[in-house]
Structure 1
Amino acid sequence: MNPRQPYAPTPHSYVPNSNLHATINLDEEVKLTETRAERDLQESLAEIFSIIVTLDELEKAFLKDAIPEADYTEICERCLKQYKFLTSDETVSRAFVGLEEFKAEWDLEVPRATERIRVGMPSTTLTASSSMGQSASSHNHQQQNQQSQPGGQLILEATQDFITFLDALRLGLLAKDQLHPLLTDVIQSVNKVTDRDFENRGKIVQWLITLNQMKATEELSEDQARELELDINSAYQGFKSTLS
């Protein structure tokens, strides 16, 4: 009986070729990119990856009440701005392709971050928090003791934001990068006045999502613009009804 071999036998003998040798220095750092442009692109894609993962964890923490509303809002807004800035670059955009493609390429399961990026705003901005509502109510109560119109300055700012947005539509400003910031101002100023879900408030949110999904220079059609003007004007009337 042959003695047991310390290794698995091979069917064929192998004779190393002394002419073969490593083509790289094993002590030398391997460069993943050759040019500055390639390095910048890889860094941008890595940042996008980090932002997406961070957003998903942030949403989880907020749902568990593990982070204060103010901190959540600040971090979320910063992440979304960075994401939009990075993906707006033409070179990065071509490599990134799209959120779904990027997630598939890197095997990312981030449903909460996906929804937040789709909406384009923190959940605290879309829905006024109870603490915000209590703050507004307290402020309004104090103002009632001093003047006939409660929260006069906040109401004036919200009214002006509504009018500014509607005027922009009537002037023919139809691009996403023209309308989205103005409509964001509307929902933010409204939230400072009331946390009540007034009639057609949801229309503001829905149009924010629609605009957010458009490319920066993409424009609404004439039919969309008329529908948007009608919806926001209706929301404005609903907002005013909460003040009476």
Structure 2
Amino acid sequence: MEVKLWNDKRERDMYENFAELYAIIKTTEKLEKAYVRDLVSSADYETECLKLIAQFKNLSTFLRDVVPSVERFAETYKMDCPAALNRLIVSGVPATVEHRTASMLLRRRGVSPALRSVGISDEVGWGIVPPDFEGRIKVKDWILRLSKMGAADELTEQQSRQLHFDLESSYTAFMAALPNAGS
């Protein structure tokens, strides 16, 4: 007896897309572990991670009506992929870019040490604030903007003031969101 996994082309396409999403998440998890264990070069890691992030964003946009929560998708299919979910959903950039940018940020004039507490250096995780937390969005925007700058590039006085303001306001909001922040 033949068992059909789908009833029509639309359903078949949906399951194929689920398989693609599953594969991207699992592959990202393996890549993250390989990078942490120094089994892949930084250059190769960054290239492949950027590719996976782009594929993930494209597929997530395409599946947003069917898969409104990738975290729930991972939970449903019993995927234990915390590094991949962090990289694909929370960070959105390879660890090499994230760490390089964090280092650059800390060396640039006008950058407050509060950046570390906002979560860029992973001293404090983003898991306690929602994904749409304004501070997270501001910091991520600055990370992406600064990652495009060369090592010798300088922020203008206006950019420096804006970055400082964004970091201070994000830090304040982040600290207020911490459990027992007032204790």
Write out aligned runs for 1:46-195 (5 A): 46-89=19-62, 92-117=63-88, 118-128=90-100, 186-190=145-149, 192-193=150-151
From the CA coordinates, give the structure whose radius of gyration is larger: 1
RMSD between aligned residues: 3.2
Runs of 4+ residues deviating >4 angstroms: 179-185, 232-235
Give the number of aligned pairs.
Answer: 125
Cα distance between partner residues in 2 of 1:109 and 1:181? 25
Q: Is the 8 A contact 1:103 1:109 kept in 2?
A: yes
Q: Residue type matched to 2:80 in 1?
A: E
**Contact 1:58/1:72 (8 A) holds in 2:** yes
* CA distance, structure 1, for counterparts of residue 25 and residue 36 of structure 2: 17
**Amino acid in the other structure paired with 1:88:** T
Identity %: 26
Gaps of 5+ in 1: 1-25, 134-178, 200-228, 236-244
Cα offset, 1:233, TM superposition? 7.7
The separation in 1 between residues aligned to 2:94 and 2:29, in whole angstroms, is 12
Match of 1:214 in 2: none
Distance 2:143 2:91 in 1: 12
Q: Flag the 1:234–1:104 CA change in 2: closer, same or farther, 3 A.
A: closer
Distance in 2 separating the partners of 1:109 and 1:33: 26
Offset, 1:128: 1.9
Unpaired runs of 5+ residues, structure 2, are: 105-137, 156-160, 168-183
CA deviation map 1:95-120 (0-9, x unaligned)? 22212211210111111112112110
Q: Write the distance in 1 (CA, Å) between the matches of 2:79 and 2:57.
A: 19
Separation of aligned partners in 2, 1:93 and 1:180: 25
TM-score for the superposition, normalised by structure 1: 0.45
**8 A Cα contact 1:125 1:187, kept in partner:** no
SS at match of 2:148: helix
Answering whether residue 14 of structure 2 is matched by residue 41 of structure 1, we say: yes
TM-score w.r.t. the length of structure 2 is 0.58
